[in-house]
Structure 1
Amino acid sequence: MAGELDLSPPEVPEPTFFESVLRYGLFLGAIFQLVCILAIILPTSKSYEQEETSEPAEAKSSEPSKKPKASAQQIRQKVKKESKKKR
């Protein structure tokens, strides 16, 4: 009975070209995903942080300003008046 056992490794077919491309493509995709995740987690360049700290604290307030809306409305009114004058 001991002489009848086949202890040789099983025969594994050689991977095809498509399987090789697929395997390396998956490795590259995984590396790309890790790089993207690290880019989100790790801090960005220090020049961006310096710009934030150089701004005054008043400019960083979370209250929305109504002045840009008013200026946009004034610009629209001026354009309308100019178009009426041209008629």
Structure 2
Amino acid sequence: MYWGFSPPEVPEPTFLENLLQYGLFLGAIFQLLCVLAITVPMPKAHEAEAEPSEPRSAEVTRKPKAAAPSANKRPKEVAKKRR
């Protein structure tokens, strides 16, 4: 009797199984990149360049303009003339 050890017969993975395996692998890499992007601080170049320049006082202190009256709200005089 020969009691040799042979590997069990495993069927070849199908196309969909391969697609699922690689998709899960790429998804895991994407998640790791997202976690690293959140945890690793990046230097902000635009803030460093904005500090030496002069503050824009005219643009910063400008108040927003009042909203224009809407089209459905007419002055009372115009409504009285049409009666």
In the superposition, the TM-score normalised over structure 1's length comes to 0.54
Q: Deviations over 1:42-85 (max 9, x none)?
A: 22343144268x3xxxxxxxxxxxxxxxx66x714x637xx528
Aligned positions, number: 66
Q: Which runs of 5+ in 2 are unaligned?
A: 52-62, 79-83
- Secondary structure, in 3 states, of the residue corresponding to 1:79? coil
* Structure that is richer in helix per residue: 1
1:46 paired residue number:
44
* Mapping for residues 61-80 of structure 1, pairs under 5 Å: 75-76=66-67, 79=69
Give the TM-score normalised by structure 2: 0.56
Distance 1:11 1:51, change over 3 A: same
Q: 1:37 aligns with which of 35, 38, 41?
A: 35
